[in-house]
């Protein structure tokens, strides 16, 4: 079945996605891929090219000094009013930006065949699916310019409902099983699979100028509901080897360790300290209520933070190192 999907070389758990109807997946190869060998007629002053009567624009007009990823890139969808023509003489306006502001990483918690079936035939989707095979294929399931149903109820910093402004990447991975002690045992990601994911993220982050703070896991944007991609996803390797996403500076964490130990020993159950930790998590980006108690949701948020940034400890209990890492990351990415 996978051979009928759109294949590209480069560029959650699943039930969380918005319950809106999805359209049938187009299994035909795109017009662009089929017609790449056809003659491309350059347009003149506005940098448009035309392929089979479809306009394309690939010039970056972003103003990075304003942290604005304004650009027009790729094929242009235009109206076709009967009896009139659409002119692109004054295209493009600088007053625009991408819908694509986040990259959200998921695992499918299903095998390969079931992942394809659910993501293409059910009320859930993602823009890309990375299989668990040692090949060079990555599957595109949804147009990048359209919303896929992968994030569900979600929040990060000043953004809600991240389906509206993100690209979802699903990775074929079994997620976790419960061991005899009732603890989650997560499955690793083979290196060949990770390299696919990293190359895809690199392409997306470059084209859409997505900042490190907006490359996240599903558990980051829905910490009380989701665990994917889990603590086995190599966020540090993504940062070290590809310069993608967020990671802390070890020296900064060490600077915080002494005071963090003191906080844990002497203030751990103080309402003022708990509120301080909750506020720091909230300011960093997580959806959390400041209750001044170690409530159930706070534990889940801390656990999600640990999945991403402190994978050797993922019990949701704040320790000195987790606290030091959080403060270091906040200083680095605030």
Residues tagged active-site:
170
What's the rounded Cα separation, in Å, for the pair 225 and 228? 10
User: What are the tokens at 296?
Assistant: 């159930």
| HEC per residue, 180-202 | CCCCEEECCCCHHHHHHHHHHHH
CB atoms within 10 A of CB 214: 23
3-state helix, strand, coil in the chain (%, to 5): 35, 15, 50
What's the rounded Cα separation, in Å, for the pair 251 and 32? 49
Nearest CA among 140, 112, 148 for reference residue 6: 140
User: What are the tokens at 223?
Assistant: 């910490």
Residue 326: burial class (beta carbons within 10 Å; 0-12, 13-18, 19+)? buried
What's the rounded Cα separation, in Å, for the pair 326 and 154? 21
Side by side, which strands form the sheet with 166-171? 6-8, 138-140, 128-130, 166-171, 102-107, 215-217
């Amino acid at each position: 079945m996978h051979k009928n999907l759109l294949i590209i070389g480069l560029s959650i758990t699943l039930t969380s996605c918005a319950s809106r109807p999805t359209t049938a997946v187009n299994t035909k190869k795109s017009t662009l891929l089929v017609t790449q060998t056809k003659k491309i007629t350059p347009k003149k002053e506005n940098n448009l090219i035309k392929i089979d009567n479809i306009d394309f624009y690939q010039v970056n007009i972003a103003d990075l000094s304003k942290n604005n990823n304004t650009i027009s890139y790729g094929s242009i969808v235009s109206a076709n009013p009967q009896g009139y023509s659409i002119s692109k003489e004054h295209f493009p306006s600088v007053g625009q930006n991408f819908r694509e502001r986040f990259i959200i990483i998921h695992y499918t918690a299903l095998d390969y065949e079931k992942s394809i079936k659910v993501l293409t035939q059910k009320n859930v989707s993602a823009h890309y699916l990375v299989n668990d095979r040692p090949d060079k294929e990555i599957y595109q399931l949804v147009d990048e310019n359209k919303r896929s149903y992968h994030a569900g109820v979600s929040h990060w910093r000043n953004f809600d409902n991240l389906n509206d402004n993100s690209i979802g990447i699903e990775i074929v991975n079994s997620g976790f099983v419960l061991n005899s002690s009732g603890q989650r045992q997560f499955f690793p990601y083979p290196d060949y699979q990770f390299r696919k994911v990293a190359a895809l993220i690199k392409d997306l982050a470059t084209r859409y100028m997505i900042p490190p703070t907006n490359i996240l896991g599903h558990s980051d944007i829905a910490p009380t509901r989701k665990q994917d991609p889990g603590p086995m996803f190599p966020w540090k390797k993504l940062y070290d080897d590809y310069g993608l996403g967020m990671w802390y500076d070890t020296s900064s964490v060490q600077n915080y360790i002494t005071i963090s130990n003191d906080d844990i020993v002497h203030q751990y159950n103080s309402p003022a300290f708990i509120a301080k930790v909750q506020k720091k998590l909230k300011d960093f980006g997580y959806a959390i209520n400041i209750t001044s108690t170690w409530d159930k949701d706070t534990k889940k948020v801390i656990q999600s933070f640990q999945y991403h940034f402190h994978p050797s400890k993922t019990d949701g209990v704040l320790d000195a190192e987790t606290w030091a890492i959080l403060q270091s990351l906040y200083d680095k990415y605030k």
